[in-house]
Structure 1
Amino acid sequence: MHNMKTFRSDENQIKNKTKTTQLADKKRNVKKKKPAKKIYRTNAKKDTGKLANRINSRMRLVAGLVAFCMAALVVYIGIRAALTNEVYERKALSQMNYSSSTLVAKSGEIYDTNMTPIAVSNRVYILIIDPKVIMETEAIEGRKGTLETTVKAIAQCFDLDEAALTNTITQSADKNYIRYVPEGWTSKKYLVTESQKEAFDALEEKVNSTEKKKETKTTEAQSVQETEGISSADEEFENPEGAKIVGVWFETEYQRYYPYGNLASKVIGFTTKDSSEGIWGLERYYNEELRGTNGRSYSYIDSSKNLIRDVIEPTDGYSLVSTIDMNLTKILSDTASEWFYETDENGERVRTAKSYSILAMDPNTGAIKAMVTDTDYDLNNPNDLSSFYTDEELATFADNEVKSEEYEKYLEKEQEKLKEQAEASKEKADDDDSSTQDIIEIATASPYAAYLNEKGEWDHSAYPTTTDVKNEIWRNGIISNSFEPGSTGKVLTYAAAIEEGLITEDTQFDDSEGYLNIGRTMVKCHNYALGGCGIIDAKDAVAQSCNVAFMEIGKILGPELFVKYQQLHNFGQKTGIDLPGEASCEGLLYTADQLGEIELATSAFGQCYNVTMIQMAASFCADINGGYYYKPYTVESILDQDGNVVESVKPTLVRQIISEETSATVRRALEYAVTNGTVYGVQVADRENGVKMDGYDFGGKTGTAQKLPRSEDKYIISLISAAPISSPQLVLYVVVDEYEGNDEDGSAPVQYLSGRLWYAIKDYIGLYSELDADVNEYDWQSVPSSDDSMSGESLFTDSQGDEAALPVPPAVAAKDQTDSAAENPDENIIDPEAAIADPADANAAPDSNDVIDLPAQPDVQPAADANAQ
């Protein structure tokens, strides 16, 4: 008991001490030892067991936490290592075995109106070599000889030099992709055909098949980009044991091909070397519709050594159905080509003219059925000019090309020197006049001065380059060259006066003297030497192509009405035909306030203003089809990849320019011109053998226009005709530039050519005679004169009898007379080997070397000799 009391007494003392010193302890921040817990002897064993349990629980908790952390750390390290390894592995693999290639879209085809393909895309392949795969496979144990085997296979299939091929591969061992085009291969030769590819597949399969069972996954990974083929499977092909053909494959491309070569070349056009862009014709105008959208192929090897491919498929282009009839085109081309050449006294074939152009058109819709020229070129090889020029001429063009490029560099260098000097002195003003003067000074002092014009520019007309002549061959003169129409323009004057009620077809005109005085100028009719055409009515004035009568009609119309009908006939404006490079001739027609007495008189019979062939043809079609002016067009529908029509092109009626009654009156006059007038020759099928087409319902009008400068005495002759004229179904417009064959005068040659053409196509187009005998012999001596020109004698004299100046087409105000593509020829140059550029768009005159040479101002009138028919 004493002990127990002592224990409690000690306990109370401890508690009291604790309370007394608690505050002091806190202030001193002294950590005190906790008092011992009460121990009851009777529970000592039980308390010891609880303490052990607590210690064990804590140890287990700590151990668990440690184990968990260790496990988490292991997992983290594992994941981290795996991720890091995968990243680096993928990076390494991607550097070794990743490829991305373009999947070329197939361009749509172009068909003629009969669904005959005239432009197609053939599937071809491009040889691709992977030197890295080849060399790494070569280094693998048991694969020695792979380089030799691969090179041998390629060289054998393509007849290539093994040494050159081996050198290319070994020198590019770090590259995964080489588009292999051996030296000396053309753009066409390096394209591999389907049959060649299949043949190489067989060879590759034979060489590699014996090794397949021995390949490990590693080897498979290294050879994942093995070949898909070339050509020629040689059964005797030998290769070292274990060697394989690897690192060769092919990419698909499409090669543009034109089955008919040069036929309709000015309409169809062609593309760049890789067929990715159209350059001329329909290929250019409908480039977006035809080309489609390229796709993409992505290939790589994953961590399991599996080849993974992702492909975005290409979208092929749409196809076009054109209005062109290739059968009709072929007949016209062959017939005209035969006429174009004659045999001279030395037995050699020579040209009868500088050039010819033929346009066939549906007058009731505006659809173009054929375009034929003497410069139709091979669409499959447009750079080949050997059919048009001699080797000596081509060498001269090439030399001019080099010199012109040298001059441009020389000029640029000299201008840069002047600029530096001006900046240093601060005395020279930077303006256009000084710049022009600088060029002239540099040009005069240059070694190229003899090749330059007065402006210091390369004289492309006198010294054409290879690029110049290419563009001249490729351009479509039917829509881009302008010229004075001559008497074909009388159709417009006649239609306008009839429509306005100012004359009838029976209105009388007096041409008993063969000339008309306009102010102080005597303007003669083509029949002046014969005493004129006499007293004739308006219909006969068309048939006889009487200038005097038409000058009177022009006077009756007056400037305002004459210009109004020029505008209604769309002269001076683009027709809107769906081909690139159309000229508008804006600025090459007089305005009403510019039409003085002499200008109006000469314009009334088709001189002193310019048109293009397409403008004149569209105008003529409207005058004979009931008065409806249709927009010319060359594509009638657009098809999708499955051949479904996505767009149908309907004829576009622009306006009605004359009434149907007036149109009928015009048709009667044109028919009378064939049966009783100056267009009689259109019925002649074969002049040499005296063969004439009888009973065919033709109507037409001839035209003879003197080119500028007038002093050179050069002419363009033309004939525009239709059949059957009572209900026109086809219009033929034939233009011949500078005819020189057989000493024929006036429009006779173009009439004979037109007669041949109609005779050649009559059965094909379903043109039938109203008579039982449709072809008869005739006496040439009884044929009315088709010569409605003056054979070089001036139509114009002044009051003293001297030659007078003939008005010329007005040039664009304050511009040079050749304001067109010719003014800045380099801006309109196109070459398949170079960047794509827009074809020349001659809004004014064409190149002066082509057709005309216009004066600088409307009132500049050189002394001239003019013949109009």
Structure 2
Amino acid sequence: MAKGTTEKIKKKALGLMYALLIVGFGAAAISLVHWQLIEGEELKSAALEQSLRSTGLPAMRGTIYDATGTKVLAQSASVWTVVLEPHYLADNDNLRRIVANGLSEILELDAMELYERTGVAGSYYDVVERKVETDVRDRIVKFMEDNKISDGIRLIPDYKRYYPYGTVASNILGFTGDDNSGLVGLELYYEEELSGSAGRLVAAKNAFGTDMPFEYEQIVEAQDGYDLVLTIDETVQSVLEKYLAEGIEKFKIQNGAVAVMMDVDTGGILGLATHPNFDPNDPFTILDQNLLKEIETLPEGEERQEARREALNTQWRNKGVSDLYYPGSVYKMCTGSMGIEEGIITEDTTYTCKGYEKFEGLKDPIHCWNHSGHGTTTFREGLCNSCNPWFMHIGAELGPDVFCRYRQAFGFEDKTGIDLPGEAGSILHSREEMGKVELVVESFGQNFSITPIQMITASAAVANGGYLVRPHIVDRIVDGDGNIVKSADKSYRRQVISESTSATLSDILRQNVASGTARGGYVSGYRVCGKTGTSEKVDKHNQDLLKDPTARMTYIASYCGFAPAEDPKYALLVFFDEPDDLNNGGYTAGNAIAGPIFSAIMQELLPYLGVEVMYSEDEYNEQRDTVAPSVAGKTLSEALEELEEAGLEYDIIGGEDPDQRITEQIPERGTSVPQNGKVVLYTSGYDVNSTLTEVPDFFEMDLANAVFQAAISDLQVTINGSRDDDAVVMLQGIEPGVKVKKGTVVTLTFGSKVNTDIYTAE
């Protein structure tokens, strides 16, 4: 072959080789640039994911305290997650069987399944059970100690939510789900503050993708959540719930009830009781047994499931914030304030009520609850009579523009902004929709819907000098060291009416309780302001008539007031939705139903809240209670001398030797005793069973019969509520049939059956 040809071939070969090298290295360089610069971060993450296992470590959820700062309403307690480490067990069949059998017995799991799970070589993390309580955890620890098991089972700390007071404040607190996240109530509203920041447990994996021993683990500690200190006082809340439940039972309430107490100066909610309620420790159990039976009668399937969901949502719902209602005549305190503030009326302005008013466009007249009319009365008398035409007159004089301006100022056109989820907005006639009929009917509280929290907030403005407060449940948020992270805004939103108008309305409402249509809320020893409401559920009635032409009207019975009258501090609204008058003795009115409940609550809570007793002269002479002196432990002669000085009578049960010691006294020291009442003294030698007497049913007895029945039952009574001649017992402090010791004092709350405030258009 010629030398030139050989050289050409070599050059071509070298050129081809260089070209291949350039292309090859170029492709490699491009690939490196792509994988390192473009795909690098993603590949790095994937590599880490393959070599590391990351497990979330829950933070301890913040504690919720009541207003005292000492009573725990919700807390997270330690529980544990049980984890198998099969790598340490897989090569020892006997140990696998011991672990499987032991854990299956303690945790009530299938032993064979656990045995199979212990045989997965190379695995260091297999969750067996979550949320294990302390007693179960202790049994597992003992099992491990008894069988000398150091590796193979791990107990990882976790948390579970507890509510120590059960159903108390359940509709306020809400509850958490399986992942410890808030689902309802404050738990949901303050989720970010309560939840804290989760930690991480990061463990290494080997080249085969199995877990490496715990020596290679890294832990990022969780940051615990903040604590909440509420304005809710557990004692106040419990009292509200107690009397609300009693009213529901007594008056056969069909559609739930609300009682809410507010500090009129700060807007802090001291108690907010609603019915139905639930146990947040077991929120998916329906507490209403009658409703549960109804659901269980439905055929299995979607219909039953839907009924169950609806029942659960109803019992979780906070009726005081999320439901609307007709305020009825309670609203007259706002309309009256508008009229006085605008100078349209004074307390002495007169108006003649003939029992009804006719309006153009309406076929039938709108009646006063007193169909015969109240005649010519002053505004003060008109409010105390709860005269509907009087307030129709005020509304007409105000006109729609001014009326709507005040309606907005009192906060009825906006949500209050209370720190609870699900607050509803009101349903009102707009200014454009408001004709004369709509205006006058709204003026006495009908045909529009608001929330209870809006009404109590407006009443606080009437009480506190005219200032609209910001209702709130949480007073402050604090960290684990007790440092305040955030405090509630207690500033006023605006001034709605003047202090002089507020003082005038308060004085009229005080008279209304003393001698007007709100006497059912009278509280012996305290100057209380109050207004009743008996509103008709007109929209519901119209719907019912379409189904049943004989359907009867249903009502909302309410009572709203505040105390003490001379310097209001606390407002209370009580309302019952749909009393069943066919089965409760014919009671529908706010004065008869909500009034006695209001009175009983205030009678118990005002002393607790530090409001001093201020008896009128009549009360002092006729109804004033005294306090039982402390004579237990003294000799009989010493005790008798002290009781005589106190003006109290006595009975002796047991030995009557003057030197014998008093072992017990009824009533106990510091408790109320009726004026000229008695103290039963127990000395040695008495038979406990012989001293018991059964509490009679005082319901609907007048005062004379109640006192007589108490006397023959060896009981004493203290009187609360209405002082009317026709008043009867509506509530009693001890349930009928309960056996108590002789001399026990039973509180009787009186009320009237008279139906006032009812709106009727015939």
TM-score, reference length from structure 2: 0.71
Query: Which of 725, 728, 733 is 1:781 aligned to?
Result: 725
| Structure 2 counterpart of 1:555, one-letter code | A
What displacement does 1:667 show? 0.3
- The equivalent position to 2:365 in structure 1, one of 523, 526, 529, is 523
| Deviation for aligned residue 1:200 | 3.5
Aligned to 2:169: 264
Residues 305 and 117 (structure 1), Cα distance of their counterparts in 2 relative to 1, 3 Å cut? closer
Superposed, which structure 2 residues align to 1:353-752 within 5 Å?
Answer: 353-396=254-297, 399=300, 401=302, 464-511=306-353, 513-519=354-360, 521=362, 522-529=364-371, 531-585=372-426, 588-683=427-522, 693-707=523-537, 708-711=539-542, 712=551, 713-740=553-580, 741-747=584-590, 748-752=592-596
Deviation at 1:618, TM superposition (A): 0.4
Indicate whether 1:770 and 2:614 are aligned.
yes
Maintained 8 Å contact 1:559/1:593: no
2:170 and 2:453 map into 1 onto residues whose CA distance is 17
Deviations, residues 64-118 of structure 1 (Å, cap 9, x unaligned)? xxxxxxxxxxxxxxxxxxxxxxxxxxx99998x9653221111110001011110
Q: Give the stretch that moved more between structures: 172-181 or 112-121.
A: 172-181
Q: CA deviation at 1:327?
A: 0.8
1:108 corresponds to = 62
Aligned to 1:165: 114
Summarize the Cα distance change of 1:323–1:398 in structure 2 as closer, same or farther, 3 Å threshold: farther
Mark the CA change 1:592 to 1:301 in structure 2 (over 3 Å): closer, same or farther: closer
Q: How many Å apart are 1:165 and its aligned residue? A: 2.2
Closer, same or farther: CA 306–541 of 1 in aligned 2, 3 Å: closer
Question: What 5-or-longer segments of structure 2 have no aligned partner?
Answer: 1-45, 543-550, 626-717, 728-750
Partner of 2:147: 207
Q: CA deviation at 1:768?
A: 3.4
Q: Cα–Cα, structure 1 residues 101 and 721, in superposed 2: closer, same or farther, change >3 Å?
A: same
**1: CA distance between counterparts of 2:383 and 2:433?**
26
User: What is the aligned counterpart of 1:177 among 116, 125, 130?
Assistant: 125
2:73 — aligned with what? 118
**Residue aligned with 2:602, SS:** helix
Question: 1:323: which partner in 2?
Answer: 231
**Per-residue CA distance 1:299-334 (angstroms, 9 max, x = gap):** 348999892332111111111001000011112212
Distance 1:93 1:525, change over 3 A: closer
Q: Is the 8 A contact 2:80 2:157 kept in 1?
A: yes
Q: What SS is found at the alignment partner of 1:107?
A: coil
The 5 A counterparts of 1:817-856 are: none
Q: Which structure 1 residue ranges, 5 or more long, are not aligned?
A: 1-90, 139-143, 182-189, 209-243, 343-349, 405-463, 684-692, 797-802, 804-869
- Looking at structure 1, the residues matched to 236 and 606 of structure 2 have their Cα atoms a distance apart, in angstroms, of 10
The alignment partner of 1:341 has SS state of helix
CA 391–482 in structure 1, closer or farther in 2 if over 3 Å, else same: closer
Tell me what 1:281 maps to: 185
Tell me the distance in 1 between the aligned counterparts of 2:82 and 2:570. 50
- Tell me the distance in 2 between the aligned counterparts of 1:282 and 1:247: 41
- C-alpha displacement at 1:173, in angstroms? 5.5
Quick one: distance in 2 between partners of 1:785 and 1:336?
18
Alpha-carbon separation, structure 2, partners of 1:554 and 1:332: 34
| Counterpart secondary structure, 1:395 | helix
Contact 1:489–1:606 (Cα < 8 Å) also in 2: yes
- Specify the SS of the correspondent of 1:581: coil
Amino acid at match of 2:330: T
1:48-59 pair list within 5 angstroms: none
Between the aligned partners of 1:481 and 1:306, the Cα distance in structure 2 is 54
Secondary structure of the residue aligned to 2:725 is helix
Contact in 1 for aligned 2:417/2:470 (Cα 8 Å):
yes
- Whether contact under 8 Å (2:384, 2:511) holds in the other structure is yes
CA distance in structure 2 between the partners assigned to 1:545 and 1:282 by the alignment = 38
Shift of 1:297: 1.6
Is 1:487–1:703's contact at 8 Å kept on the other side of the alignment? yes
Question: Can you list the C-alpha shifts for 1:442-473, whole angstroms capped at 9, x where unaligned?
Answer: xxxxxxxxxxxxxxxxxxxxxx5221211111
SS at 2:368 equivalent: coil
Identical-pair percentage: 31
Give 1:208-247 correspondences, 5 Å limit.
208=148, 246-247=151-152
Which residue number in structure 1 is paired with residue 85 of structure 2?
130
Secondary structure of the residue aligned to 1:593 is coil
2:429 touches 2:448 (CA, 8 Å); kept in 1?
yes
Answer with 1 or 2: which has the greater Rg.
Answer: 1
Note the C-alpha offset of 1:780.
4.6
The one-character-per-residue Cα deviations of 1:486-534 (angstroms, maximum 9, x if unpaired) are: 11111111111111111111111111x21122225453443443x2111
Deviations 1:785-831 (A, max 9, x none): 7734487xx832xxxxxx4xxxxxxxxxxxxxxxxxxxxxxxxxxxx
C-alpha distance in 2 between matches for 1:696 and 1:403 = 51
The residue identity in structure 2 corresponding to 1:787 is V
What amino acid does structure 2 have at the position aligned with 1:247? G
Tell me if the contact between 1:678 and 1:786 (Cα under 8 Å) persists in the aligned partners.
Answer: no
Residues 279-316 of structure 1: CA deviation (Å, up to 9, x unaligned): 11110110000001111122348999892332111111
Q: Call closer, same or farther: CA 1:622–1:308 in 2, change over 3 Å.
A: same
Provide the residue aligned with 2:41 in structure 1.
Answer: none
3-state DSSP of counterpart to 1:166: helix
Quote the offset at 1:179 in angstroms. Answer: 1.7
**Residue of structure 2 equivalent to 1:294:** 198
Matches within 5 A, 1:193-204: 193-194=133-134, 196-204=136-144
- Cα deviation for residue 557 of structure 1 reads 0.4
Amino acid at match of 1:550: F
| Distance change (3 Å), C-alpha of 1:560 and 1:790 | closer
* Alpha-carbon distance change, 662 to 386 in structure 1, aligned in 2, over 3 angstroms: closer
Structure showing the higher strand proportion among its residues: 2
The residue type paired with residue 594 of structure 2 is V
CA distance in 2, matches of 1:339, 1:574: 29
Q: Would the alpha carbon gap of residues 101 and 261 (structure 1) be closer, same or farther in structure 2, given more than 3 Å must change?
A: same
For the residues of structure 2 that align with 1:382 and 1:398, how far apart are their CA atoms? 24
What letter is aligned with 1:204?
A: M
How far the C-alpha of 1:176 sits from its partner, in A, is 3.9
> Separation in 1 of the partners of 2:280 and 2:214?
46
In structure 1, what is the equivalent of residue 743 of structure 2? none
Does the Cα contact within 8 Å between 1:332 and 1:761 map onto a contact in 2? Answer: no
Q: How does 1:147-158 map to 2 (within 5 A)?
A: 147-158=96-107
Distance change >3 Å, CA 300–CA 520, structure 1 → 2: closer
TM-score normalised by L of structure 1: 0.62
Displacement, 1:620?
0.8
Q: Secondary structure at the match of 2:201?
A: strand
CA drift of 1:767 comes to 3.2
The correspondence of residues 21-100 of structure 1 with structure 2, limited to 5 A, is 99-100=53-54
Contact 1:397 1:466 in 2 (8 A): no
Deviations for 1:13-33, whole angstroms, at most 9, x for unmatched residues? xxxxxxxxxxxxxxxxxxxxx
